[in-house]
Chain A
Amino acid sequence: EAGVAQSPRYKIIEKRQSVAFWCNPISGHATLYWYQQILGQGPKLLIQFQNNGVVDDSQLPKDRFSAERLKGVDSTLKIQPAKLEDSAVYLCASSLGLAETYEQYFGPGTRLTVT
């Protein structure tokens, strides 16, 4: 079974530029998560989708971050404009559903460096 796919794996941009990350979850997984992991810290949830609807985006900095999952499968996370403090690894995860006992499977992440 294929795992969670993310691209690109690495991205370097200058501040004030925009960037987009793509995630393809495991087939059949209804729930998709985006996490931000700053160096030396644990991942922090940015947004959670159930199919194509948003369950929780309370931690997403909506003035610069946006995310969508239009067809309930792939998802895109965008940052516009980027700031230096956005340098982090962006992790996508998916699970079968919302129940807390469902395991979340993580992708390899996209490492973003903002200069």
Chain B
Amino acid sequence: GDSVTQMEGPVTLSEEAFLTINCTYTATGYPSLFWYVQYPGEGLQLLLKATKADDKGSNKGFEATYRKETTSFHLEKGSVQVSDSAVYFCARTDSWGKLQFGAGTQVVVTP
């Protein structure tokens, strides 16, 4: 069936390092794609989204581009901060707006 696969964590980085979290999806149609973030002790928050091929979502210095040809939606940030430490979830919509999530990638940024 349709699924979302993201790289396993934890990903440990030093402050100001470049972050990439890979995400690929399978789909029979053209879903919308999302990155959600879960900071320690907080609920899930939408980080960014893209609704069609070649769209680029961006927020808080994070970016991800909807690549239909590679069925990917990789998350990137050029210079991470300690406050970016969180669990990041890639997700795609199923029919009627239902979200299907990847397993999550924990990111730990050290000073």
Q: A residues engaging B (CB < 8 A)?
A: 31, 33, 35, 40-45, 48, 55-56, 91, 93, 95, 97-109
Q: B residues engaging A (CB < 8 A)?
A: 4, 31-32, 42-46, 49, 51, 89, 91, 93-104
B interface majority secondary structure = mixed
Q: Is the CB of A100 within 8 A of B101?
A: no
Query: Which residues of A lie under 8 Å from residue B42 when comparing CB positions?
Result: 108
Query: Which residues of B lie under 8 Å from residue A104 when comparing CB positions?
Result: 46, 97, 99
Q: Is the CB of B97 within 8 A of A98?
A: yes
Q: Is the CB of A33 within 8 A of B98?
A: yes
Which residue of the partner chain, among B51, B91, B96, B100, contacts A55 with CB atoms under 8 Å?
Answer: B96
Query: Which residues of A lie under 8 Å from residue B93 when comparing CB positions?
Result: 100
Q: Is the CB of A106 within 8 A of B97?
A: no
Contacts A42-B102, A42-B103; A56 near B51 (Cβ below 8 A):
no
